[in-house]
Structure 1
Amino acid sequence: MSCLGRISLHRLVLPFVILLLAGCATSPPEGISSITPFDAARYTGKWYEIARLDHSFERGLSDVSARYRQQADGSIEVINRGFDSAKNDWREAVGRALFIGDTNRASLKVSFFGPFYGGYHVVRLDPDYRWAMVVGPSRDYLWILARDKQLAPEIREQLIRDARTLGLPTDQLVWVTHTRSDS
């Protein structure tokens, strides 16, 4: 991991902070519920980003993954990582997630910068924790994640239908490529 670098403020954190200052929202969008029951221990580990709605803090990144690790204080460490081909460099951001209320509900708030948090809500989840669909504090934020770099076409199509039913703009999804080694 010789090229590993921290993502610059303007690239990952500043747009997220601006979004949070504008709304400081941590609740799921109206009409969208997070998964319950939820087992944080089963959710921890590495996930690959299969698709996302585009935002400046991830724009241009490929090979995006997230690693979640439970901490002794009950929080979850979040490490987001992606490859910036324009800079030929890996970018990484480390954050902290806290449950919003009941730890049995997949509704968390995540911060990559100080006291500013944004919502992270798992709204679809494979019974074996192999794939997940996550929304942010508004319908402008959507991620499809999987434990593998590829998702079976039938699951992918079902998640797109589910997202569309929730009023999410699936026509704007960015499909993430995974061609680089994880190291």
Structure 2
Amino acid sequence: MHCRKRWPLALLLMIGITACSSLPTRPAPAIEIDLPRFMGTWYVIAHVPYWLEEGKLTARDVYRLREDGRIDNDYVFKRRWDGPEHRWQGVSTVQPGSGGAHWQVQFVWPFKSDLHVLEVSADYQWALLSNPRRDLAWVFHRQAEVDEAELQDWLTRLSAYGVDPTELRRVEQVPSS
């Protein structure tokens, strides 16, 4: 029964991610990602969300490198502060020759979507990601809270990659006081 409830939602998730767009695609940046260092928990600080991400709280991605070279990709979130935590489980495949910067993400077979790691800090504390059309984007950080000056710097950086910074929305990680 539990799997039956998740299937329609996961299908809608993938349709939303792979929906057609008139924006041109752009190649993954020519950077090298140290995949073992990239693994772990990343808090979604801000994003240009697709419709299934709208309104999610405490959103984070958890990555685990598998023995076969693929990546277990869990998206964890709440819908309300006093509600339960939800987890969508997917698998990502790093595309050969991309230096670890181009992933294909799959939450529901047979649907896949492309993800580019645009930039990651030298200490692997923050990362900027987008889809190839640059109409979806994510700001990741190892900590749930960051200051506004850092966020503004990341918005400027994303703009240089072709992401519209006015479309980015902050993700609430802790309740407002």
Normalising by the smaller structure, the TM-score range is 0.7 to 0.9
Look up the match of 1:77.
72
Misfit runs of 4+, over 6 Å: none
- Check the 8 A contact 1:49/1:64 in 2, yes or no: yes
**Residues 61-140 of structure 1 aligned to structure 2 (within 5 Å):** 61-85=56-80, 88-102=83-97, 104-140=99-135
In structure 2, list runs of 5 or more residues that go unmatched.
Answer: none
> 1:177 aligned to 2:175?
no
Q: Indicate conservation of the 8 Å contact 2:70/2:91, yes or no.
A: yes
For structure 1, which segment, 32-41 or 62-71, has the greater mean C-alpha deviation from structure 2 after superposition?
A: 32-41
1:29 aligned partner: 25
Q: C-alpha offsets along residues 90-125 of structure 1, whole Å, 9 cap, x if unaligned?
A: 221000000111262311110000122111111011
**TM-score normalized by the length of structure 1:** 0.82
Q: Distance in 2 between matches of 1:103 and 1:19?
A: 21
Q: Percent identity?
A: 22
- Contact 1:69 1:78 (C-alpha < 8 Å) held by counterparts: yes
Structure-2-length-normalised TM-score: 0.84
Instruction: Tell me, in whole angstroms, the C-alpha distance in 1 between the residues paired with 2:149 and 2:25.
Output: 26
- State the match for 1:20 in structure 2: 18
- Give SS of 1:120's match: strand
Q: How far apart are residue 9 of structure 1 and its match?
A: 4.5
Q: Structure 1 unaligned runs (5+)?
A: none
**Are residue 149 (structure 1) and residue 147 (structure 2) matched?**
no
Contact 1:53–1:172 (Cα < 8 Å) also in 2: yes
Deviation at 1:160, TM superposition (A): 0.6
Task: Measure the CA separation in 2 of the matches of 1:39 and 1:52.
Answer: 23
Structure 2 CA distance, aligned partners of 1:86 and 1:10? 24
